[in-house]
């Protein structure tokens, strides 16, 4: 845990809080003194987050929420807002899925599912959270784009499209709500170990995230991190690398940062 206390008295809703980067962000912000509601489609995932929070769980509540379902989002955000005392100071939209496949083998249902969860889900949570953000203290929204939004990641056309959409939407919302002083930014993770990359965060989802069996790995040379991870023994950095950046963007420290994205990829795309 960190010695920072930027989130003392801040009320925070984090989707995707049951695994991976979302879970790491829950733990990071709890460590900085925040009151957090972790939302996720997976009840076991949320229970795992509570367990890992340990003594800090007295400032952690959980809500089961499926970001792809409008009624679930409406009910879940309403409950989260109630648990937070009627206002949201920081919203983190970390919920998402990754699908990898050859384009010609990608069905409309597969493509649409990724867009519905990653892009439409982010939109729904923001829309339903707006009243609570408007009454929040120095409100901030942190969305999850990806390095795939700007750089070629083979076999990930649906994922890249969804994350490019999140990035563009973040810019539009930052402008739309600038005069209300609601900040909107996004992070672009790359080469990060998470429930999305290993499949552990994909409860109730039918297709795993792995690359096609005949994937051409020579095409991934441009997305390899330049910074050595674990002395050069690992391919992916841990989720806390992104959680630290999310915590900064969602705090008052980033009061003059809006409408942009921060890449967290170990120099993969320099």
Report the C-alpha gap between 75 and 87 in whole angstroms: 15
Which structure tokens are listed for 42? Answer: 């997976």
**Which residues are marked as active site?**
159
pLDDT for residue 198:
53
User: How many Å is the maximal CA-CA distance in the chain?
Assistant: 51
Which uninterrupted H or E stretch holds 62? strand 60-64
Which superfamily does 11-264 belong to?
NAD(P)-binding Rossmann-like Domain (3.40.50.720)
Domain ranges across the chain: 11-264
pLDDT band of residue 38 (cuts 50, 70, 90) is: very high
Q: What is the pLDDT of residues 43-64, one digit of tens each?
A: 999 999 999 999 999 999 999 9
> Which value, in Å, is the radius of gyration of the alpha carbons in the chain?
17
Q: What is the pLDDT of residues 122-179, one digit of tens each?
A: 999 999 999 999 999 999 999 999 999 898 888 999 999 999 999 999 999 999 999 9
Report the C-alpha gap between 92 and 39 in whole angstroms: 10
Which structure tokens are listed for 165? Answer: 């959409």
pLDDT for residue 214:
87
Report the C-alpha gap between 26 and 20 in whole angstroms: 10
Residue from 54, 81, 70, 63 nearest 22 by CA: 63
- By the 10 Å C-beta count (0-12 exposed, 13-18 middle, 19+ buried), 121 is classed as buried
Residue 201: pLDDT above 80?
no
Collapsed DSSP state (helix, strand, coil) of residue 146? coil
pTM of the model: 0.91
pLDDT for residue 193:
85
């Amino acid at each position: 845990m960190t010695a920072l206390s930027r989130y003392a008295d801040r009320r925070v809703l984090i989707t995707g809080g049951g695994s991976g980067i979302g879970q790491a962000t829950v733990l990071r912000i709890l460590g900085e003194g925040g009151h957090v509601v972790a939302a996720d489609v997976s009840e076991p995932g949320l229970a795992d987050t509570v367990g890992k929070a340990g003594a800090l769980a007295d400032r952690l509540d959980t809500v089961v929420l499926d970001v792809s379902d409008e009624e679930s989002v409406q009910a879940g955000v309403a409950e989260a807002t109630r648990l937070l005392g009627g206002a949201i100071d920081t919203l983190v939209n970390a919920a998402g899925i990754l699908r990898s496949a050859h384009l010609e083998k990608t069905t409309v249902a597969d493509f649409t599912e990724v867009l519905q969860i990653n892009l439409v889900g982010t939109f729904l949570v923001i829309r339903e959270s707006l009243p609570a953000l408007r009454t929040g203290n120095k409100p901030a929204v942190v969305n999850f784009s990806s390095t795939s939004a700007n750089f070629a990641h083979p076999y990930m056309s649906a994922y890249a499209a969804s994350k490019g959409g999140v990035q563009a939407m973040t810019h539009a919302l930052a402008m739309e709500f600038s005069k209300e002083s609601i900040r909107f930014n996004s992070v672009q993770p790359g080469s990060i170990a998470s429930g999305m990359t290993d499949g552990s965060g994909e409860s109730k989802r039918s297709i795993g995230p792995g690359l096609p069996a005949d994937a051409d790995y020579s095409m991934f040379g441009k997305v390899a991190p330049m910074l050595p991870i674990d002395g050069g023994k690992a391919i992916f950095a841990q989720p806390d690398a992104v959680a630290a950046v999310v915590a900064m963007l969602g705090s008052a420290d980033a009061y003059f940062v809006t409408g942009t994205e921060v890449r967290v990829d170990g120099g993969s795309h320099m």
